[in-house]
Amino acid sequence: MTFRETLRIAIRGLRANKMRTSLTMLGILIGVGAVIMLVAVGTGSSKAVRDRIADLGTNTLTVSRQRFARGQGGQTGAGTTRAALLTERDVDALRDKTNNPDLKQVAPVVNAQSVTGSFGGGTYSPAEFIGTTPTYASIRSFNVAGGSFFTDEDVAGHARNVVLGQTVVTNLFGNTDPIGQKVKFGANEFNVIGVLKVKGTNGNQDEDDIVFAPYTTVQDTLTGKVGGLSQIVLQAASSKATTDAQDEATATLRNSHRLTRNASDDFRIQNQATLLKTNDDANRVFTVLLGAVAAISLLVGGIGV
């Protein structure tokens, strides 16, 4: 029997059993479609999370305070549980290139909580009010759409200048151009010198609902200096140098905090590159799981056929 005759018999059989043919095609299409859809969902979710983490900077390190119990001799043990302070001395130590050759930039951060802004009779409370230095904008990829970011001279001079995210501008100024205007945050008046480009959301957080000011000014007007810094944000020289940069920062901060060899760290360093790798590993397992479920669906459909 030739191929042409075989094909003719097959077509005749399909035409004679149209319902069976339709159901067979439907089963195959559902199975293949399930495989494609579930694998696409896994790949898409992985890319979305990866993009959000990458937007924060894959070579970024964040130093934050950590509660610890300090006993005698500076060692962790019986004693009073408290949170170690991060100070400007720590920032200066981290900026020392001799001990931290793999650190490119260092930015102190002071977070002011529940700050309400007012302008022209309207009020609005931004989600974040951050006191920092210009290097923070470079590390976190915040770009100015209009006006300018404040300078190191503004930080040294405790200038009352602020840079606003688009969400804050919309809710506080409406259609009014904010640049050059004076706005109150709390009981203090600030000059609006810049507006940030739109960044969108990062998970559940609106990255445009933010205000930046010199950290020295924020300490003077909103937070005080007693609590020290909220965080210190670091940028490694490259994404491949993040581990070395973290080790250098750890050694520098332990020395700055005068911790003994056996004492636990009184700070915590979050490595964005490690977070990204963990996310990739988790999403790889998730994608394989979805692929397995889809393959089972295809198998069941095949058995049904």
Per-residue confidence (pLDDT) for residue 83, from 0 to 100: 58
Per-residue confidence at 80, pLDDT binned at 50, 70, 90? very low
pLDDT, position 79:
47
Q: Which residues contact 46 (CB under 8 A, 6 or more apart)?
A: 279, 280, 283, 284, 286, 287
Give the contacts of 30 (CB within 8 A, at least 6 positions apart).
Answer: 297, 301
pLDDT at position 76 is 45
Which pLDDT belongs to residue 16?
Answer: 75
Contact residues for 8 (Cβ-Cβ < 8 A; gap 6+)? none
Query: Using 50, 70 and 90 to split pLDDT, how confident is the model at 281?
Result: low
Q: Is residue 33's pLDDT more than 70? A: yes
What is the DSSP code string of 80-95? Answer: EEEEPPB-HHHHHHHT
115-152 residue pLDDT tens = 999 998 889 999 999 999 999 999 988 999 999 999 99
- 64-68 average pLDDT score: 76
What is the percent of the chain with per-residue pLDDT over 90, rounded to a whole number?
Answer: 48
Lowest-confidence region among 23-37, 102-116, 163-177, 217-231: 23-37
Q: Looking at beta carbons, which pairs linking 151-160 to residues 24 or more positions away fall under 8 Å?
A: 154/214, 154/217, 155/214, 155/215, 155/216, 155/217, 156/216, 158/214, 158/216, 158/217, 158/220, 159/191, 159/214, 159/217, 160/188, 160/189, 160/190, 160/191, 160/213, 160/217, 160/221
Rounded to a whole number, what is the largest CA-CA distance in the chain? 94
Compute the average pLDDT of residues 52-70.
69
* Coil, strand or helix at 259: coil
Tell me which residue has tokens 């859809």.
Answer: 37
> Residue 43: phi, psi to the nearest 5?
-65, -40
Structural tokens at position 240: 């491949």
User: Residue with structure tokens 């951050």?
Assistant: 130
How confident is the model at residue 298, as a pLDDT?
Answer: 67
Q: Examine the pLDDT at 47 and tell me if it is beyond 60.
A: yes
Residue 272's closest CA among 232, 235, 229, 230?
Answer: 235
**In the 8-state DSSP scheme, what is residue 160?**
-
Tokens of 150: 């404040």
- Closest C-alpha to 117, from 181, 204, 31: 181
pLDDT at site 55 = 56
Place of tokens 């020295």: 216
Pick from 223, 126, 216, 229: nearest CA to 178 = 126
Q: With beta carbons less than 8 A apart as the criterion, state whether 293 and 36 touch.
A: no
**171 pLDDT tier (thresholds 50, 70, 90):** very high
Please check the confidence at residue 74 and state whether its pLDDT lies above 50. Answer: no
Choice among 53-62, 188-197, 249-258 with the minimum mean pLDDT? 53-62
- Angstrom distances, CA of residue 163 to CA of 30, 76, 77, 266, 294: 53, 41, 44, 32, 49
Residue 69 pLDDT more than 60?
Answer: no
As a whole number, mean pLDDT of residues 242-251 equals 92
